Structure 1
């Protein structure tokens, strides 16, 4: 187990970039053969906008890495954190750490992004995509990303987890981000069975419906248990889904400059 965790702790940046590229590429290819929805769109033009946003996020992530490193140095030299209160097997500590990260850095912050007005304006960029596919997983306003990463560090501090746990979570999160957004068709029975434990492609697609109440459901990233526990889980027929968001013009979906300006565009009237 120590060797396994050590691999993620010492994983160089280029391997992380390769992992992102491989996972995104895998689901990009699968979409061509097992599409949930047969989109009539320019796949490459659509991807350019989302990949450009990914590039901005990755640049911010480099700078954010300095703060992250400082947090872990502080944790290593202090008694802070729930994991330091008990002696547990490493694999149990890892599972607990991932669950708390998924709850705080994914479900909870995602809930806030929908419920707090200024945060929702940032998150509109993600929901304005009218052709949800694997690249949509990369589609976040840079400030939206900073908020998410800040909550991840809060979870790290609460648990007092080692950096290897956090990095393993990041690798898992990348997979689920592209898996759940990918325009792929799993057998309905398999998708529904899996949705009792993890977030599945069909399950997450309801979250990308263009209007309430589905927009405010299925906030989870990896584990579906949080949506079930807090009453935000929904599962229906995917044929009913229409992508986009009802307060942003669909025609602006692939306009990068417009998307970056959405949070500051007062002509867009938000729900709260």
Structure 2
């Protein structure tokens, strides 16, 4: 009688069967956990929920009230947040600009200090104080007209952000940030709320459809390399002229010296 037959007759499983059962259990558990985590991550937070608003109020009191006041009414160190809406909070906190590390010409983007859930809770609390611009939905961010977006961007945005979204200098140490590697929702929120030196493009200035077109244009130029080759960071004619002056003219001088030395 074989060992397998003996194991079956004794009601015992073989060692391979035990290993297989353990693997199946691990795969099933891991799959269920991944599905649950994905569902939790993509679930929309109800910004009108009293529990979420209460959580946001506690976070605000602990992290924001020093500058913006206990009731978000503003102080000499920070503006009032009454009426700025959830979009402004989601942009400022979601890009790491708030809380600020130090005073300066403008708040700088840095690693985010709060989780997505905490950011949403802060946005819910501020939105509960007074009506204001809301966080855009996913349908407002996708499938825009790239050509129309390029034209709108050149008319409304390129004078500060550069035609390729590379950013540019402003006055008094301020600057328009580059728009590469910026999420679509944050681009939309920036247009909607006009953070810092940026003007507000409300729905009368740029319709939601036009904002979507601009976002699609920015996504296109980020994912498609320049057809001209070396871009020199897309900083415009000054950097290109400097490059040609230093390297182009330098190469001509070097070639002239070499020809003269050879002729002698």
Normalised TM-score (structure 2) = 0.27
Higher relative contact order (CA 8 A, sep 6+): 1
Higher helix proportion: 1
Normalised TM-score (structure 1) = 0.26
Structure showing greater Rg:
2
